[in-house]
Amino acid sequence: MRIKFNLLLLYFLLLSMESVVSLSYAALPSSINNQPLPTIAPMLEAAMPAVVNISTTKNIQIVDNPLLRDPFFRHFFQVPDSPQRQQKNSLGSGVIIDSSQGFVLTNNHVIDKADKIMVTLKDGRQFDAKLIGTDPESDVAVIQISADNLTALPIADSAQLRVGDFVVAIGNPFGLGQTVTSGIVSALGRSGLGIEGYEDFIQTDASINPGNSGGALVNLRGELVGMNTAILAPTGGNVGIGFAIPTNMAITIKDSLVKHGEVRRGLLGVATQDLTPELVNAFNLPNPFGAAISRIDANSPAARAGLEPGDIIVSINDKQVKNSYEIRNMIGLLQIGDEVNIEYYRGSNKQSTVAVIGKPQRPHLDGGKLHPTLSKTLLSVPGKNQVEGVLFEKIDSNSYAWKVGLRPGDIIVSANRYRIHNLEELNQVVNPDAGLLINIQRGEEGFFVLLK
């Protein structure tokens, strides 16, 4: 009985303590020793109007039952002749980076293939946006709105970020509306994740969720340090590992998109690999930083600059190179014609050279040399983000190919019932003295064309 009484007394004491704690929190003072309590509310009041909500609409074709392609069934079931389409909507975020021009920075995957882009400001105003340019390789896009009284975020030098800096993520998660989460910079220079073609991510534990993509990652001064892009979610939810594209990369790409509508990446012409402890010992290197050249393309800028397989690149434009991903990122931000200073080890000797970034070369073929029905066409290889096959780069409007409905941008994915991936494979299956059956991929649609 005494034990029960003591337990009951302890229970009431705990309740009393909880009440005292609750009362003390309810009466939390606005200042301590005449000093105001810390808050980032003033910074957010200035920064949040620069972050916008983005909604997109995409028209996609409905894949119908193959039976309904038969004219009898189409007539019997009164199926319309025009393709059936439905709308797909998505949500994301963006950051105003130029108030006078109305430029908004966002992710490519937020607006990819959208037929309509709607931007909603913090004050509730809505505007149709124009696509200025997009770079799927880095997942950066720029759109533009025509509006007055816009607020733009100041841009910080993301190279000055340090692990442990406090950051705030602003975006539109799950379509809830503007939401703010806070955390720290967990790591810098994250790459090799397989998320994008060019990766140099800021990692943060500030909560980033679906819909935050394209939103702002700001420092405590309210300056943009990164654009929220992706999360690592092995369980399907936020686990405190989010990634943002640093402003130095995003703004460089934005400048190219605004100027050219695309990123005109150049070519150095090297393949590199990371250094292992064994390679460091084998090459007798003073430190483990750098990347080994494993291949040099013939007649490439690297070859003309005197680089050779086995050279260890340790710095590009006076910036230390830690691994092969950093080389890819650095070269990927350069334009055709840019000069690049390269420091490297050849054996135990440290040397330097200057290379001029060249234009990537894609193989081309006059279609008439392949098959007479393809005369007055130019065939090439599709871009990195397109389906593998052979691309119709140019088609003369007076050609046979044009008259049968082929258009520039169409991609041949099979020929004479053989799957093809490049010009060599297409050449192997084409008989210039016989008809040519090709399967064409055009956007999200596919169809066959018989050339004879």
Could you tell me the two tokens for 390? 């052979």
CATH topology classification for 364-451: Pdz3 Domain (2.30.42)
Whole-number pLDDT of residue 202: 93
Could you tell me the two tokens for 187? 């790591």
pTM: 0.68
Whole-number pLDDT of residue 295: 86
Whole-number pLDDT of residue 263: 83
The full DSSP string for 109-131 is HHHTT-SEEEEE-TTS-EEE-EE
Helix locations, 238-313, DSSP H: 247-260, 277-282, 301-304
Whole-number pLDDT of residue 360: 74
Whole-number pLDDT of residue 354: 93
- State the Cα–Cα distance between residues 367 and 389, nearest whole angstrom: 14
**pLDDT under 70 in the chain at which residues?**
1-31, 33, 60-87, 194, 233-238, 384-385
Length of the chain: 452
Residue 381, amino acid = V
- State the Cα–Cα distance between residues 268 and 317, nearest whole angstrom: 14
Whole-number pLDDT of residue 374: 93
- Where are any strands of DSSP class E within 191-310? 201-204, 216-219, 224-231, 242-246, 270-274, 291-296
**The CATH number, out of the four listed (2.30.42.10, 3.50.50.60, 3.30.565.10, 2.60.110.10), of the domain defined by the range 270-356:** 2.30.42.10
Whole-number pLDDT of residue 9: 40
Residue 397 exposure: Cα atoms within 13 Å on the Cβ side: 0
CA 448, chain centre distance (Å): 32
Residues with active-site annotation: 109, 139, 213
Give the residue extent of every domain in the chain. 42-263, 270-356, 364-451
CATH number for the domain running over 42-263: 2.40.10.120
- State the Cα–Cα distance between residues 424 and 381, nearest whole angstrom: 11
Do 42-263 and 364-451 fold alike per CATH?
Answer: no
Whole-number pLDDT of residue 240: 79
Supply φ then ψ for residue 307, to 5 degrees.
-75, 155
Whole-number pLDDT of residue 176: 79
